[in-house]
A and B are shown apart, each in its own frame.
Chain A
Amino acid sequence: GQNIDQPTEMTATEGAIVQINCTYQTSGFNGLFWYQQHAGEAPTFLSYNVLDGLEEKGRFSSFLSRSKGYSYLLLKELQMKDSASYLCAAIDSNYQLIWGAGTKLIIKP
């Protein structure tokens, strides 16, 4: 079956760095998305990776290793507003999105 695994919850300190991991098992692979979702709100797009390597966008970076079925989202200089759930979603061979359950990130002062 197809599966996305990511930690349920993580805690980090304001100003620090946190890495949220995501492993995926899909039938085929056509890329991976990261989304941010604040409580009670809809997800917003953060990044898309389809090639191996690191994509950097300001304080947020996303990494992909296709051979390992692994991705991570790196958040630097954490701010209180970064408290949210972070969803990992992989695209399978049928171009369907397979969603992880999300990682709830708690930022402490």
Chain B
Amino acid sequence: GAVVSQHPSRVICKSGTSVKIECRSLDFQATTMFWYRQFPKKSLMLMATSNEGSKATYEQGVEKDKFLINHASLTLSTLTVTSAHPEDSSFYICSARVGGEIASPLHFGNGTRLTVT
């Protein structure tokens, strides 16, 4: 079945540094990928929609200069958390649909647990 691979699974970084998270679709092409953030016991929050070959679409309240998204190929999207601060500590998850229809379920990567010290 469709697999979305996300790396790294865990990362600890110091405040002020940047962290890059990769999301790959392993056996299908994903023109669109979605980046979510999840706080403990909270709902998934869509941060941005990553579009291959064009600029990402950010949700209201998400700083595009802080959360840089690059979707350079049909199988890879990256999220870079720039100048990370402790409040950026969270669980980041990417996802993609195999088919183009809205009824196609999202396949999620395994998530990245980011801790900023």
Which residues in A have some Cβ–Cβ distance to B below 8 Å?
Answer: 4, 8, 30-31, 33, 40-45, 48, 50, 87, 89, 91, 95-97, 99-102, 104
CB distance from A77 to the nearest CB of B (A): 24
Which residues from chain A contact B103 at a C-beta distance below 8 Å?
30-31, 48, 50
Say yes or no: B109 contacts A99, CB within 8 Å.
no
Chain A residues near B108: list those with CB within 8 A: 42-44
Main secondary structure of the interface of A (DSSP, over half): loop
| Docked-complex contact A95 and B102, CB < 8 angstroms | yes
CA distance A55 to B72 in the complex (A): 39
**Partner pick for A42 among B42, B46, B93, CB 8 A cutoff:** B93
B62 interface residue, CB < 8 Å from A?
Answer: no
Which residues of B (34-65) have their CB < 8 Å from a CB of A? 41-46
Partner of A101, one of B41, B107, B109: B41
- Interface check B16, CB cutoff 8 A: no
Which of B91, B95, B102 is the most central at the interface, judged by chain A CB atoms within 10 Å of its CB? B102
CA A45 – CA B3 in complex, angstroms? 12
For the complex formed, measure the closest distance between the CB of A18 and the CB atoms of chain B, giving whole angstroms.
19
Q: Inside 8 A of A50's CB, which chain B residues have their CB?
A: 103
| Residues from chain B with Cβ under 8 Å of A44 in the complex | 108
Does B110 interact with chain A (Cβ within 8 Å)?
yes
A97:B106 contact, CB within 8 angstroms: yes
**Which residues in A have their C-beta under 8 angstroms from that of B86?**
none
Instruction: Report B80-117 CB contacts with A as 1/0, cut-off 8 Å.
Output: 00000000000101010000001101111111010000
Cβ of B113 and Cβ of A40 under 8 Å apart?
A: yes
- A-B contacts, 24 listed (Cβ < 8 Å): A30-B102, A30-B103, A31-B102, A31-B103, A33-B105, A33-B106, A40-B91, A41-B111, A42-B93, A42-B95, A43-B93, A43-B106, A44-B108, A45-B105, A45-B106, A50-B103, A87-B43, A89-B44, A95-B102, A97-B106, A99-B43, A99-B44, A100-B43, A102-B41
B2, chain A: closest CB distance, angstroms? 10
The residue on A at minimum CB distance from B10 is A40
